[in-house]
Amino acid sequence: MDRERLSWLMAGAVLMVGCGRGQTPPPPGPMEVGVVAMSPERIVLTTELPGRTAAYLIAEVRPQVSGIIKERKFVEGSFVRAGDLLYQIDPAPYQAAYDQAKAALAVAEANLPPARSRAERLKGLVEIHAVGQQDYDDAHAALLRAEASVTSARAAAESARINLSYTPLKAPISGRTGKSSVTPGALVTAYQPAPLVTIQQLDPIYVDVTQSSADLLRLRRGMESGRLKGAGASKVKLLLEDGTPYSREGRLQFRDVTVDPTTGSVELRMVFPNPDDTLLPGMFVRAIVEEGVVEKAILAPQQAVSRDRRGAAIIMVVDSEGKAAQRALEVDRAIGDRWLVTKGLADGERVIVDGLQKIQPGMPVKAVPFAAATAAEPASGGPSAAAR
């Protein structure tokens, strides 16, 4: 009886061992990863530069003659056109001086014909020796003095007329007036340091920004290597102080040729239309400048790029053998949610975007399009997110 029971127990143990061997799971296959195939794109490179607005034209109105302000003919802050009357200086003393100068000119002109007639008459008589040479010389000298008196009186009359014309102060340019520094009854002096009012033309308007000289060198190297081509007309867009885009497009007018030694930057000046006076002088803005065009740019997703211990950019790709391979990259800048790659990736290469936490270089992987992978299971953040 004991032998029979022992045989039954041994048979059950053998049967259990056999069943356990039949349920052993198969060896794991290649890890599934989401990939994005690289393809060249044409992109326009831009740079965002801080700056401030400045008036297109500025005129500081100062008197050119001294006197009392009789009237102010404009409203502060209003728009005036070139030639509009701004102030009227009391013209009475200058009108009197002009009338006196004209009278002196009339006297000088009246003395000229008799002096000319006497000199001509004595010239004929001295030729026939009817009068002495000294008499003719005196008459000729009197004629020259009369002519000089006419010239001097005419110049004095013109100077008095100019002074009289300066009593009405007119706008030299069209633009927006500022605060008036004087009121009617105030005494002003010729060419005084303080302007009576400042006029600024705001349409169009300047935007002055600064760019580092290192960026200029990088752009020049890109142009010389052929990787970057000129974008044609230098178009500029603008972001206002509150971050909203300005509705009108401007153009780059010039780039300074001198580097500021204290900041290591150069100044750029743009011109923008400003018909609604949205932009006011002194406003802080950010200009988006077109630098050039890259005809065949490779853009890698930022979530696929990480950094090694030295800070260099690295990326994982699927090689021709279906294995994960690590690549070192050289990147230029971020464009949206992608990096512009200058070296390290080629057209058609498959960049691993999803599943980076589960693989190591050299591991076999199963590549699926990234969109399909995200539809089946949301991609998780990890080290790649920190590399942005």
pLDDT at 63: 96
Helix 133-165 × helix 92-127 angle, to 10° = 160
- Enter the tokens of residue 81: 């056109």
Q: Tell me which residue of 367, 291, 368, 372 sits closest to 335, measured CA to CA.
A: 291
The rounded distance, in Å, linking the Cα atoms of 56 and 289 is 20
The rounded distance, in Å, linking the Cα atoms of 199 and 258 is 30
The rounded distance, in Å, linking the Cα atoms of 32 and 318 is 11
CB proximity list for 69: less than 8 A, separation 6 or greater: 87, 88, 89, 90, 182, 183, 184, 185, 186, 187, 188
CB proximity list for 124: less than 8 A, separation 6 or greater: none
Q: Tell me which residue of 268, 255, 282 sits closest to 52, measured CA to CA.
A: 282
pLDDT at 33: 86
pLDDT at 213: 79
The dihedrals phi and psi of 96, each to the nearest 5 degrees, come to -65, -45
The rounded distance, in Å, linking the Cα atoms of 7 and 269 is 101
The rounded distance, in Å, linking the Cα atoms of 119 and 344 is 101
pLDDT at 231: 54
**Domains identified in the chain and CATH numbers:** 31-40+296-386 (2.40.420.20), 45-56+202-295 (2.40.30.170), 64-87+170-194 (2.40.50.100), 91-166 (1.10.287.470)
CB proximity list for 248: less than 8 A, separation 6 or greater: 238, 272, 273, 274
CA atoms within 13 A on the CB side of 98: 15
Count of other CB atoms within 10 angstroms of residue 125: 13
pLDDT tens-digit readout, 19-74: 444 455 555 678 888 889 888 888 888 888 889 999 999 999 999 999 999 999 99
- What residues in the chain have per-residue pLDDT under 70? 1-28, 219, 221-234, 372-388
- What is this structure's pTM? 0.67
Residue type, 48: E
DSSP 25: P
Length of the chain: 388
pLDDT at 230: 59
